[in-house]
Amino acid sequence: MKLREHLHIIRRSIQLLDRLSRRNLLGRSLHALVVALMPYVPIYFSARLIDALIAGAPVQTLALYAGLTIGLTALLSLAKAFLLAQCEIGAPEMELAYEWMHAEKAAQLSYASIEDHEVARLKQRIRSETQTGFNLYYFYSSMERVIQFSVRILVSISLTASFFAADTIALPAKLLFAGGVVLTVAVNMLIGRRSAKIRSAFSADCVQSNIMLGELDGYITDYKPGKDIRLYAMEEPLAALDKRLLDELGAYEMRVYLKCAGLELIATVMNYALRFGVYLLLISGALMGGVTVGSIAQYVSSVMLLLTAVMELVRTAQQLALNDTYTRRFFSYFDIPNPMYKGSLSVEKRDDNEYYIEFCDVTFKYPNTDAYALRHVNLRFRVGEKLAVVGMNGSGKTTFIKLLCRLYDPTEGEIRLNGVDIRKYDYDEYMAIFSVVFQDFQLFAYSLGQSVAASAEYDAKRAEACLREAGFEERLSSMPKGLDTSLYQDFDKNGIEISGGEAQKIAIARALYKNAPFIVLDEPTAALDPVSEYEVYRRFGEISGGKTAIYISHRLASCRFCDEILVFHEGQIVQHGAHEALLAQENGKYAELWNAQAQYYTETA
């Protein structure tokens, strides 16, 4: 990575930390400055006090030095406490803003990115790296050290400058000392770089294992898979896999620590050898009379702090440079664009309710795949019609709905609303005209009323009416808190567990509550019992009202109430028409599917 890239990442990281919590950023920076300065107050004034005592200075002078030492130290301590309090307030602010940043990004991603395995893996990886202290969080934690060590280097140099200017210290000795510092710093740089690379390689190698351990932990601790774990005797295999991964990671980590400890030993020996040389130089200078007793104390302390600061700053800078790879990956997730064109046209509000949807030679294949999910689909229908979409698994039914709802854009062709390409409409307005119940729908662990309204605030009467229409009335009457009853126990220990069929009814009620002109039901009765399924069929016209209803199902008997049936096969519409007309085409796909299902309901001799 070039220097320009490192500087760009540093600048962007500081800007992000400032946006997350300016209070925390300033508090941490100033706190580091105060902590860096604190040791030098007693070092400087103690040296002056010792020299004054030896020189027989008056009591007032001694008292002044003592007062300045105590007073300035007290002021810095008060400033440190105040800034630390600001940091303690700012840290939760930053944490909340950071989590909200992730939530916002997830909401802003296109659905194609949400379904993209590589994007999901990238998100997991940066989360894992954050938890192990890399990317932005390493920069944040290192920022204080950089400020602290940089300030200490500057102050230490200013307090030791007179040592190098002293005539009593021979030039070769000064050069030897400077050479020792350079050599020690160089050795520390090499060791720091090597250690950082070893640790970085360890972290990179552990990404997949950490993801697997996280998933395993989710399986084992979540109550929902608990039934399967027990019924299929998965306790021992899961525990064994978890232990094997932990043992492998532990053994690998031990090897890494031993290598780094060996390198650290070399650096430690070099550091203390240099310190010993400093003591010899100062003793030599004192014996020659060119260095005062107080100055010796000042030089010793300042040089020790200087050496420590230089070593630590070098290490921190090296580790930050390596961490920039993680930070760049971190930002790469937040830089993922949303390619969905938002449009600007308002969705027309028609009094006559005459809306037309057209698929014009629509072809589509999913990102990162070569196979076409839909090919040359042409279709026109009007709002108010009831459409059934049937076909075998993988025939393109759900893909057809995703394109209609603009979760994806066609690879080729256009979808039009009243003659206008839907990409030209305001994206949010267009999405608002659809109520959809997908077969893999998701309910959230909020109250029943909030789940139906998909909002924290809701109209109770309207929510109850939608639940009644969806066939949930009897179950609602038995709920302890009615619409305020929490679903599941993720957030409320008194939450209720609902069956798959009940969840499906709530999902249908949610679609009705939205009251959009298009309602799409993707296998809406898959989890319902036969009686409930029949009730949904019987009341389908009443439930959908004057809306356009698109009904996807594998059960062809449920499609007879629709105005038109679309038959998908291998990504194409191979037939369309009413039930009787399609059934009359004996060699057609619909008749084939109908007869294949009918045999299970026909008695055999």
Of 473, 491, 492, 493, nearest to 483 (Cα)? 473
CA 273 vs CA 174, 183, 266: distances in Å = 16, 11, 11
Question: Is 564 in contact with 381 (CB distance < 8 Å)?
Answer: yes
The pLDDT value recorded for residue 229 is 86
Q: Which residues of 203-242 are buried (b: 16+ CB within 10 A; e: fewer)?
A: beebeebbeebeebeebeeeeeeeeeeeeeeeeeeeeeeb
Average pLDDT over residues 522-528: 69
Q: Tokens standing for 120?
A: 């999901």
CA distance 565 to 572: 14
Q: Tokens standing for 342?
A: 């938002």
Q: Tokens standing for 182?
A: 């350079």
DSSP letters along 211-261, please? HHHHHHHHHHH-STTHHHHHHTT-HHHHHHHHHHHHHHHHHHHHHHHHHHH
Question: Which region among 138-152, 479-493, 538-552 has the lowest average model confidence (pLDDT)?
Answer: 538-552
Query: In the beta sheet, which residues pair with residue 572?
Result: 569
Residues with Cβ within 8 Å of 499's Cβ and at least 6 positions away in sequence, in order, are 527
Using the predicted structure, report yes or no on whether residue 4 has a pLDDT greater than 60: yes
Tell me if residue 499 falls in helix, strand or coil: coil
Using the predicted structure, report yes or no on whether residue 527 has a pLDDT greater than 80: no
Average pLDDT over residues 280-289: 74
Residues with Cβ within 8 Å of 84's Cβ and at least 6 positions away in sequence, in order, are 27, 31
Q: Which residues of 338-377 are buried (b: 16+ CB within 10 A; e: fewer)?
A: eebeebeeebeeeeeeebebbbbebbbbbeeeeebbbbeb
Which phi-psi region, left, alpha or beta, contains residue 581 (left: φ > 0; alpha: ψ -120 to 50)? alpha
Using the predicted structure, report yes or no on whether residue 604 has a pLDDT greater than 50: no
Using the predicted structure, report yes or no on whether residue 494 has a pLDDT greater than 80: yes
Using the predicted structure, report yes or no on whether residue 536 has a pLDDT greater than 50: yes
The pLDDT value recorded for residue 45 is 93
Per-residue pLDDT reduced to its tens digit, 376-418: 999 998 877 888 899 988 899 989 999 999 999 999 999 999 8
Q: Within a 10 A sphere around the Cβ of 501, how many other Cβ atoms?
A: 18
Top pLDDT among 199 and 22 is at 22
DSSP letters along 565-595, please? EEEEETTEEEEEE-HHHHHH-TTSHHHHHHH
Using the predicted structure, report yes or no on whether residue 602 has a pLDDT greater than 60: no
The pLDDT value recorded for residue 228 is 86
Using the predicted structure, report yes or no on whether residue 452 has a pLDDT greater than 80: yes
Using the predicted structure, report yes or no on whether residue 541 has a pLDDT greater than 70: no
Report the first-to-last Cα separation within the chain, whole angstroms: 78
CA distance 207 to 121: 10
Provide the pLDDT confidence category of residue 284 given band limits of 50, 70 and 90: confident
Of 380, 404, 381, 400, nearest to 390 (Cα)? 400
Q: Which residues of 123-139 are buried (b: 16+ CB within 10 A; e: fewer)?
A: bbbbbbbbebebbbbbb
CA distance 324 to 331: 10
Per-residue pLDDT reduced to its tens digit, 197-236: 888 788 778 877 877 887 888 788 777 788 788 888 888 8
Per-residue pLDDT reduced to its tens digit, 242-274: 899 899 888 998 999 999 899 889 888 887 888
The pLDDT value recorded for residue 605 is 40
What is the share, in percent, of the chain residues with pLDDT greater than 70? 94
CA distance 475 to 482: 10
Backbone φ, ψ for residue 388 (5° rounding): -110, 140
Q: Tokens standing for 33?
A: 């400055």
- Find the helix or strand (DSSP H, E) in which 435 lies: strand 434-437
Please report the sign of the dihedral spanned by the C-alpha atoms of residue 146, residue 149, residue 153, residue 159: positive
Average pLDDT over residues 93-106: 94
Top pLDDT among 526 and 597 is at 597
Of 217, 176, 206, 192, nearest to 312 (Cα)? 192
Using the predicted structure, report yes or no on whether residue 539 has a pLDDT greater than 50: yes
Residues with Cβ within 8 Å of 419's Cβ and at least 6 positions away in sequence, in order, are 356, 358
Per-residue pLDDT reduced to its tens digit, 62-82: 999 999 999 999 999 999 999
Per-residue pLDDT reduced to its tens digit, 130-176: 887 889 988 988 999 999 999 999 999 898 887 777 776 778 877 88
Please state the pTM of the whole predicted model.
Answer: 0.76
Question: Which region among 7-16, 99-108, 141-150, 219-228 has the lowest average model confidence (pLDDT)?
Answer: 219-228
Provide the pLDDT confidence category of residue 369 given band limits of 50, 70 and 90: confident
Average pLDDT over residues 95-109: 93
The pLDDT value recorded for residue 354 is 67
How many helices (H) and strands (E) in the chain? Answer: 22, 10
Strand stretches in 502-559, DSSP E: 518-522, 548-552
